[in-house]
Amino acid sequence: MPSPPLAAPNTLKILIVGVGSIGERHLRCFKNTGRCEVAFCETNPSLRAEVADRYGCPGFEDLEEALHTGIFSAAVICTPAPFHVPIAIKCVDAGLHVLIEKPLSTCSEGVDELIAMAQKANIEVRVAYIYRFLSAIRRAKELLSLGQCGLIRQVVVTSGQHFPSFRPAYRTIYYAKRESGGGAIQDALTHQIHAIEWLVSPAASVTCQAAHQVLEGVEVEDTVNLSLRLRDGTLASFALNQFQVINETVITFHGTNGSLRIELPSNRVGLVLRGEDTWNWEQLPPTERDIPFTDQALDFLGLLTGQVSHASSLSEAKQTLMANLAALQSDTANQGVDI
């Protein structure tokens, strides 16, 4: 089917597919832009009624019922990851532009078909890697593009949070199984892998060791040590766990003329150049959790009205998916894997 005509911003109609935790956040943030009308589909009847009442939005029983109306400009897919690509293919076939939650999928099946369909139909499909809308990440990209640090040769990422505090239901949702997109690699580390690929260079090979160390009620990995060789020769290392007390992520880029550091969620960026002996910090304003998601929603709506988007393209998300799958394979086989 042909893609829908691009309407004025205040007439865009957005369908949220699935309103679990992340789907509800997308619904709220798209609604809060004031630039679109929002509806959703949700197969769980009690959740559907609850969300419809909370936000005053129409809720459909399933995707087919929603698509049958023919009123939507775009869909935001927030189901578990194994369903992302099949649902996206249905939406593209119905002429809808699509924003897909990360990761793109849990396997490569159907990805190339989706890319080909979207290109042929002139449909926009983006993937919601939210790090691209964090102000500290965006500022770091600006600084790295200036080249003050010289050629980046090493990246070190250390990250962790007390996952049960952030996602109390982790035992009973997709997170509990790798097959449904769960575990630390596909759920958390994929954000950071994608960010480094965006900021520096795509990954070429991966060596990964992962383990279930602490989280109760699941067997998937909650701790990961991973090394990447990027295509430009940069070496990147990641150490992540999902049980530490403090929530923090520190990303450090070491170049031939200096280093740059991102600290989250304290939201500051530091720079130290050759000849200096201390970090020069730039403190960015604190941001409430919905702000980057609202910025992402505005970006996607802008894309539908002809503006440039900062969101991940399908090809970029496919590259990160290949890195995710290689990491899982490397952990299982206990050896390095080319991407």
The model's pLDDT over 231-246, given as tens digits with 9 standing for 90+, comes to: 999 999 999 999 999 9
pLDDT, average across residues 139-165: 97
pLDDT, average across residues 127-141: 98
Query: Does residue 9 carry a pLDDT above 50?
Result: no
Enter the CATH code of domain 135-286+320-338: 3.30.360.10
Of the chain, the percentage scoring pLDDT greater than 70 comes to: 97
Predicted confidence (pLDDT) per residue in 251-291, tens digit: 999 999 999 999 999 999 999 999 999 999 999 998 899 99
Q: What is the pLDDT of residue 249?
A: 98
Confidence of residue 5 (pLDDT cuts 50, 70, 90): very low
Query: Does residue 164 carry a pLDDT above 90?
Result: yes
CB-based contacts of 146, cutoff 8 Å, min separation 6: none
The token duo for 289 is 């959790």
Predicted confidence (pLDDT) per residue in 27-77, tens digit: 999 999 999 999 999 999 999 999 999 999 999 999 999 999 999 999 999
For 63-129, where are the E strands, in sequence order?
Answer: 74-77, 97-101, 125-128
Predicted TM-score of the model (pTM): 0.94
Residues of the chain with CATH 3.30.360.10: 135-286+320-338
Q: What is the pLDDT of residue 318?
A: 98
Enter the CATH code of domain 9-129+294-308: 3.40.50.720
Count of residues for the chain?
339
The token duo for 192 is 């950071």
Confidence of residue 3 (pLDDT cuts 50, 70, 90): very low
Confidence of residue 202 (pLDDT cuts 50, 70, 90): very high
Query: Does residue 6 carry a pLDDT above 70?
Result: no
Predicted confidence (pLDDT) per residue in 212-235, tens digit: 999 999 999 999 999 999 999 999
The token duo for 258 is 């200096």
Residues of the chain with CATH 3.40.50.720: 9-129+294-308
CB-based contacts of 119, cutoff 8 Å, min separation 6: none
Confidence of residue 10 (pLDDT cuts 50, 70, 90): low
Query: Does residue 178 carry a pLDDT above 60?
Result: yes
Q: What is the pLDDT of residue 2?
A: 39
Q: What is the pLDDT of residue 11?
A: 79
Instruction: State the DSSP string of 124-163.
Output: -EEEE-GGGG-HHHHHHHHHHHHTTT-SEEEEEEEEE--H
CB-based contacts of 137, cutoff 8 Å, min separation 6: 131, 195, 199, 262
Neighbours of 34 (CB within 10 A): 9
Q: What is the mean pLDDT of the chain?
A: 95
